Amino acid sequence: RKEVEQDPGPFNVPEGATVAFNCTYSNSASQSFFWYRQDCRKEPKLLMSVYSSGNEDGRFTAQLNRASQYISLLIRDSKLSDSATYLCAVRGGSQGNLIFGKGTKLSVKP
């Protein structure tokens, strides 16, 4: 099992749709989890941290399921501007480094 795995997509959804991404991780001792957004030919930007109790930021909701070792990102009321690649990151290296998934590509259509 790879350390951090994501469905590469692409997810093609209409504006206004709700879309969810999952990310599985292999290290049960991982303590920190994040979602990043990366636009084409740009750097990854931190979208949100993922807390044990789940957290919400506007249209975005992140959840952690430790028992099944996955994190999720839910986007409600999708906008055209949400089109990007979404990377999950799990802190799990020997020095506590972040390990990134390969990303899930989202395309929101009019």
Partner 1 sequence: NAGVTQTPKFRILKIGQSMTLQCTQDMNHNYMYWYRQDPGMGLKLIYYSVGAGITDKGEVPNGYNVSRSTTEDFPLRLELAAPSQTSVYFCASSLDTVYGYTFGSGTRLTVV
Q: Check binding of 45 to partner 1 (CB under 8 A).
A: yes
Q: Check binding of 92 to partner 1 (CB under 8 A).
A: no
- Residue from 62, 71, 89, 106 touching partner 1 (CB under 8 A): that is 89
CA 80 to CA 15: how far, in whole Å? 6
The one segment of 12-20, 52-60, 76-84, 88-96 that binds partner 1 by CB under 8 A = 88-96
Q: Check binding of 44 to partner 1 (CB under 8 A).
A: yes
Output the smallest distance, CB 110 to partner 1, in A: 27
Output the smallest distance, CB 38 to partner 1, in A: 9
CA atoms within a 13 Å half-sphere pointing along the CA-CB vector of 70 = 11
Taking Cα atoms as reference points, which of 25, 27, 43, 30 lies closest to residue 85? 43
Output the smallest distance, CB 16 to partner 1, in A: 29
CA 42 to CA 40: how far, in whole Å? 5
For partner 1, the closer of residues 8 and 16 by Cβ is 8
Q: Check binding of 34 to partner 1 (CB under 8 A).
A: yes
In the numeric block, the tokens 């979404």 are attached to 86
For residue 30, give the DSSP letter: -
Evaluate whether 5 touches 27 at the Cβ level (below 8 Å).
no
